[in-house]
């Protein structure tokens, strides 16, 4: 039996399931974290237990491609992963271009909810509100900037969504936010250090990029090759030209 998933969801699903059912799964997860760069903070992980939520909805706060709930030393942490791909008909996907679209949306008074930086910002607000004020506050709604498509965002009443928040509520010591993207490592690192760091985020409530990081699709494919994750390598081949 062979299963081929499409685009970022297909590759992520294969990657995480293949790790889950590998007898060295925790070692692989810990090795994966060594591939992630966090330019603004020292992030060290030694995962002892982990729960993985794939394509989890958070209602008005958007879906998360992946949420990792980890027991790391004495900390219980949440890690959000937001993934982007080049797509087949585009020549490239660049983080500076994505950021320019984000800033243009801010200046025009309407930011796209599918933009990487919007998605990461939404998860920051979600986590911080959950940690500081709990689920009931998210049910009542919290205020967002005027250029957001919704000036008040709520978590809603979906029981599956609320169950995910109940799980996450046990992992609020700290949160990290990973952009999984098709740009080059050198280009993204330079962007984080030179562009994103200097951005003042006018009008953004609770803007905080300290625990933002990144990993690139080519590095994930190299990781799969090194660790002999054959099923995921086949999904990469199936999506050649779509991912990066």
Q: Is 2 within the bounds of a domain? A: no
Q: Cβ(123)–Cβ(89) under 8 Å?
A: no
Model confidence pLDDT, tens digit, residues 29-51: 999 999 999 999 999 999 999 99
User: Could you tell me if residue 47 is left (phi over 0), alpha (psi between -120 and 50 degrees) or otherwise beta?
Assistant: beta
Quick count: other Cβ atoms within 10 Å of Cβ 188? 23
User: Domain span at residue 54?
Assistant: 7-238
CA dist 155 and 238 (Å) reads 36
Token readout for 217 is 């699709």
Greatest alpha-carbon span in the chain: 52
The structural domain count of the chain equals 1
Q: What is the pLDDT of residue 202?
A: 87
Q: What are the distances in angstroms from CA 202 to CA 132, 145, 146, 177, 211?
A: 23, 9, 11, 21, 19
CB-count exposure of residue 1 (10 Å: 0-12, 13-18, 19+): exposed
Q: Is 79 within the bounds of a domain? A: yes
CA dist 14 and 201 (Å) reads 36
Q: What is the pLDDT of residue 169?
A: 98
Q: Is 53 within the bounds of a domain? A: yes
Residue of 9, 11, 7 lying closest to 223 (CA atoms): 11
CA dist 65 and 55 (Å) reads 4
Token readout for 241 is 């030209």
Q: What is the pLDDT of residue 84?
A: 98
Q: Is 243 within the bounds of a domain? A: no
Query: pLDDT 10s per residue in the chain (244 long)?
Result: 999 999 999 999 999 999 999 999 999 999 999 999 999 999 999 999 999 999 999 999 999 999 999 999 899 999 999 999 999 999 999 999 999 999 999 999 999 999 999 999 999 999 999 999 999 999 999 999 988 999 999 999 999 999 999 999 999 999 999 999 999 999 999 999 999 999 999 889 999 999 999 999 999 999 999 999 999 999 999 999 999 9
Q: Is 1 within the bounds of a domain? A: no
Q: What is the pLDDT of residue 104?
A: 96
Q: Is 56 within the bounds of a domain? A: yes
CA dist 89 and 152 (Å) reads 35
CA dist 30 and 1 (Å) reads 29
């Amino acid at each position: 039996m062979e299963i081929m998933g499409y685009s970022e969801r297909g590759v992520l699903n294969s990657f995480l399931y293949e790790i889950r059912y590998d007898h060295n799964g925790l070692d692989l997860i810990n090795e994966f974290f060594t591939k992630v760069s966090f330019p603004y903070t020292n992030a060290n992980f030694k995962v002892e237990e982990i729960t993985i939520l794939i394509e989890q909805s958070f209602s008005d706060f958007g879906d998360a491609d992946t949420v990792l709930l980890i027991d790391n030393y004495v900390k219980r942490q949440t890690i959000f992963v937001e993934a982007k791909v080049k797509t087949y008909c585009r020549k490239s996907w660049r983080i500076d271009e994505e950021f320019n679209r984000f800033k243009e949306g801010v200046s025009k008074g309407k930011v796209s909810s599918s933009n990487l930086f919007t998605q990461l910002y939404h998860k920051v607000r979600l986590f911080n509100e959950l940690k500081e004020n709990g689920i009931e506050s998210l049910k009542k709604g919290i205020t967002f900037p005027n250029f957001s498509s919704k000036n008040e965002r709520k978590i809603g009443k979906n029981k599956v969504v609320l169950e995910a928040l109940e799980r996450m509520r046990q992992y609020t010591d700290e949160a990290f936010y990973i952009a999984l993207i098709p740009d080059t490592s050198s280009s993204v690192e330079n962007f984080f250090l030179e562009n994103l760091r200097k951005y003042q985020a006018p009008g953004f409530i609770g803007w905080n990029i300290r625990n933002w990081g990144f990993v690139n699709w080519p590095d994930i494919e190299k990781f799969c090759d090194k660790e002999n994750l054959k099923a995921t390598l086949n999904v990469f081949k199936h999506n050649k030209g779509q991912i990066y």
